[in-house]
Amino acid sequence: MSVLTVSGSPHLQANQSVGKLMYGVVFSLIPAMLVSFYFFGLAAILVTLTAVVSCMAFEFLIQKYLIKGPLTVFDGSAIITGVLLAFNVPANLPLGIVVIGSAVAIGMGKMTFGGLGKNPFNPALVGRVFLMISFPVQMTIYPKPQAFNTALTDAVTGPTPLTVLKDGVSRGESVSDIMLQLPDSFSMLMGNMGGSAGEISAIAIILGGLYMLFRKIITWHIPVVYLATAFVFAGIFWLVDPEVYADPVFHLLTGGLMLGAIYMATDYATSPMAPRGMIIYAVGCGVLTIVIRLFGAYPEGVAFSILIMNAFVPLINKAFKPKRFGEVKNG
């Protein structure tokens, strides 16, 4: 007779795995990736490839030679970090800097804490902020988007819409004058504007987000609340003085807010667990983003606000529990 297994219930397992979830995210990033390749050409392809390969390589090296633990380099999470890091830097960033960013993202951002699921801060954002501080010049020269771009280093460069706005406002120009120098909302929605490689096209990122919602990889709470908060908060200032503050639609479409709200803030390990906690966290992200944009030294605030809110996640998880069954007495 055959040997029978004895184990605790349940005996069924959903057709799910870490790899399936992670590759689902990677798959959903394809539209945004295509847009960045279209506007920034070969340069964007190289930056993305470099980031992905070096993120995977660093994870492998650290697991194999430092931690000497099981290898999880093919679970897809290092690929996501690589793609998101590439999306968060200018497409013409020297590849050496991309490698440094990947080392920081994977090494400092993820592996020091024990790898996937244990890191308190979003690894791609850790890498990005490290680069912003260490290479401020290279990190703020953005190539101008050109359809079917093949240029590598000699691309025409230009500022992002948020930089134009910040500089203009600080010079005392009115917002309506500044807006004349910028692409219209439709172009920005499609991604035809200066910016980091993958953050430019709101529509492609929303598409990816819808796919993740459909596959139940993420829930609506964080992206919807984050965007809504940023919209309302920016809208209040705009209503107060439209000549000093830009309109809320402009804020939604620029500076990687879409990318941040849909991909960076929803990172499993660094966002709250319970729906109520997610909402609080997303409100925090939205408010901080606009505060930094309107009153901070940097033109854009998505990366900082998400990292700041990441730090609050353990507290939020303690304070905001899911709704327990049988908590409210009724009947």
Partner 1 sequence: MGGVHPPENKFAEKCAIERLDSPDTVAIPLSQHLGAPAKVIVSKGDKVLAGQLIAKGDTFISANIHSSVSGTVAKIDDVIDASGYRRKAVVIKVDGDEWLDEIDRDATLIKECNLNKEEIIKKISELGIVGLGGATFPSHVKMMVPKGKKAEYLIINGVECEPCLTADHRLMLEKGEEILVGISIQMKALGVDKAIIGIESNKPDALAHLQKLADGYKGITVEALKVKYPQGAEKQLIKALVNREVPSGKLPIEVGCVVHNVGTALAVYEAVQKNKPLIERVVTVTGKSVKKPSNFMVRIGTPVSALIEAAGGLPEDAGKVINGGPMMGKALNDLEAPVTKGTSGILIFTREETPRPPEQNCIRCAKCLTICPMGLEPYLLAVLSDKKRLEECEKERIMDCMECGSCHYICPSGRPLLDQMRVGKARVGKMIRERSN
Residues of this chain that interact with partner 1 (CB under 8 A) are: 1-2, 4-14, 16-18, 20-21, 72, 75, 77, 114-118, 219, 268-269, 273-275, 321-331
108: which residues sit within 8 A by CB, 6+ positions away? 126, 130
- Cα–Cα separations (whole angstroms), residue 114 to 66, 77, 269: 11, 14, 12
Nearer to partner 1, 278 or 302 (CB): 278
Q: Which residues pair with 142 in a beta bridge?
A: 158
Assess contact for 98 and 86: CB atoms under 8 A.
yes
Nearer to partner 1, 119 or 196 (CB): 119
Q: Which residue has the tokens 């990122």?
A: 205
Nearer to partner 1, 117 or 242 (CB): 117
Shortest Å distance, C-beta 302 to partner 1: 21
Shortest Å distance, C-beta 171 to partner 1: 45
- Nearest Cα neighbor of 258 from 310, 212, 207 is 207
The letter for the amino acid at 244 is V
- Nearest Cα neighbor of 225 from 161, 187, 272 is 272
Question: Do β-strands 157-158 and 142-143 pair in parallel, antiparallel, or remain unpaired?
Answer: antiparallel
Nearer to partner 1, 31 or 275 (CB): 275
Shortest Å distance, C-beta 22 to partner 1: 9
Nearer to partner 1, 172 or 331 (CB): 331
At residue 87, φ and ψ (nearest 5 deg) are -65, -25
Shortest Å distance, C-beta 71 to partner 1: 12
Given its phi and psi angles, is residue 195 left (phi above 0), alpha (psi -120 to 50 degrees) or beta?
A: left
Shortest Å distance, C-beta 324 to partner 1: 4
User: Residue 187 CA to chain centroid, in angstroms?
Assistant: 21
Nearer to partner 1, 154 or 327 (CB): 327
Shortest Å distance, C-beta 109 to partner 1: 15
Nearer to partner 1, 80 or 253 (CB): 80
Shortest Å distance, C-beta 77 to partner 1: 8
CB 94: neighbour CB atoms within 10 A? 14
Instruction: Copy the structure tokens of residue 233.
Output: 């908060």
Shortest Å distance, C-beta 315 to partner 1: 14
78 burial (CB, 10 Å; 0-12 / 13-18 / 19+) is buried
Nearer to partner 1, 17 or 176 (CB): 17
